[in-house]
Chain A
Amino acid sequence: MAAAAPAATASNAARPRLPLSFGAVTEKNIEQLKLLNRAIFPINYPERMYKDILACTDVTQLAYHNDVLVGAIACRLEKSTQGPKLYILTLGVLAPYRGMGAGAALLQRCLQLVATQLPEVQEAVLHVQTSNEEAIRFYSRFGFEVAETIPGYYKRLDPPDAVLLRKRLHADGSGGADGGTANGTNA
Chain B
Amino acid sequence: MASKQSQPDNRTLPSKETALFRQLAKQYETKQYKKGIKNADAILKKFPEHGETLAMKGLLLNCLDRKEEAYELVKRGVKNDLRSHVCWHVYGLLYRSDREYDEAIKCYKNALRMDRENLTVMRDLALLQIQMRDMPGFLETRQTLLELKSNNKHNWISFALAHHLNGHHEVAVKVLESYEATVEDEGASSGEAYEHSELLLYKALVLEEGGMHEEALAVLEAGTAAKRLRDPLGVREQQARLFLAMGRREDAAAAYRALVAINTENHRYHAGLMAALQLPPAGTAGAAGAAVGAAGAAGGELSEEQRRRLAEAYAELQREHPHSVAARRIPLDFLEGEEFVAAADAYVRRYLLRGIPSLFSDMKPLYRSASKAALLGQLFERLAASLEQSGALPPLQGAEGCEQQQQQPAPQALVWTLFYLAQHHDKLGNTGEALRLVDRCIEHTPTLIEAYVAKARFLKHAGDVESAAWLADAARRMDLADRYLNCNAVKAAFRAGHTERAESTAALFTRDGEQANNLFDMQAMWYEIGSGRAYLAQQQYGKALKRFLKVQQHFEDFQEDQFDFHGYCVRKMTLRAYIDMLRMEDRLYAHPTYLKGIGGAIRAYLQLHDRPSGGQQEDEEALLAGMTPEEQKKYRAKKRKEEQRKAKEAADAAAKAAAEAAAAAKKAAQLGEEKKKKDTDPDGEQLAATPDPLGEAAKLLRRLREHAGDELAVQQLSFEVYVRQGKLLLAVQAAKKAQQLAGPADPSVHSMVVRLAAAVLAAAAEAAAEAGGDGNGAAMPPLALAVARQETAALLGASELDAAAADAYRQQWAAAHAGSSLRHAAAAAEVAPPEARVAAVQRLQEVGPAGASHADCATAAELLAGPLAAPEAAAAWRHQCAARFPWSAVFGGASRLDVPAPWEAEAATGKEGKGEEAASANGLAQQAAALSLS
Interface residues, chain A, with chain B CB atoms under 8 Å away: 5, 7-9, 15-19, 26-29, 31-32, 35-42, 44, 47, 65-70, 94-98, 100, 132-134, 183-184, 186
Contact = CB atoms under 8 A, between A and B. Distances in A.
A133 B934 contact: yes
B225 interface: no
Given A16-B407, A32-B478, A40-B923, A68 B447 contact: yes
A47 B912 CA distance: 12
A9 B409 contact: no
B479 interface: yes
Nearest to A93: B930
B412 interface: yes
A12 B926 CA distance: 17
Enumerate the 7 nearest inter-chain pairs by beta-carbon distance, A residue then B residue, closest first.
Answer: A66-B355, A134-B934, A28-B481, A69-B447, A38-B919, A28-B480, A95-B926
A100 B391 CA distance: 13
Contact of B446 (A39, A65, A98): A39
B775 interface: no
A132 B930 CA distance: 10
State the majority secondary structure of interface residues on B: helix
A31 B478 contact: yes
Interface in B887-928: 910, 916, 919-920, 922-924, 926-927
Given A17-B409, A32-B478, A39 B922 contact: yes
B154 interface: no
A100 B444 CA distance: 16
Given A35-B446, A39-B446, A66 B477 contact: no
B15 interface: no
A94 B442 CA distance: 12
Contacts, number: 109
Contact of A96 (B407, B444, B480): B444
A94 B409 contact: no
Given A39-B922, A44-B920, A67-B355, A95 B929 contact: yes
Interface in B463-498: 477-481
A27 B445 contact: no
Contact of A94 (B407, B446, B931, B934): B446
Given A39-B446, A67-B355, 4 more contacts: A9-B933, A97-B412, A100-B409, A184-B930
B354 A66 contact: yes
A133 B933 CA distance: 10
A134 B916 CA distance: 28
B927 A94 contact: no
Contacts of A17: 409
Given A9-B933, A28-B480, A42 B927 contact: yes
B446 A68 contact: no
Contacts of B919: 35, 38-39
B923 A41 contact: yes
B934 A7 contact: yes
A40 B927 CA distance: 6
A186 B931 CA distance: 11
B923 A38 contact: yes
A62 to B, nearest CB: 9
B920 A18 contact: no
B234 interface: no
A68 B478 contact: no
B412 to A, nearest CB: 6
A134 B934 CA distance: 5
Contacts of A97: 411-412
A65 B480 contact: no
Nearest to B931: A7
A182 to B, nearest CB: 10
13 contacts: A16-B408, A26-B481, A31-B477, A39-B447, A39-B922, A39-B926, A68-B447, A94-B926, A95-B926, A95-B930, A96-B411, A133-B934, A134-B933
A146 to B, nearest CB: 16
A183 B920 contact: no
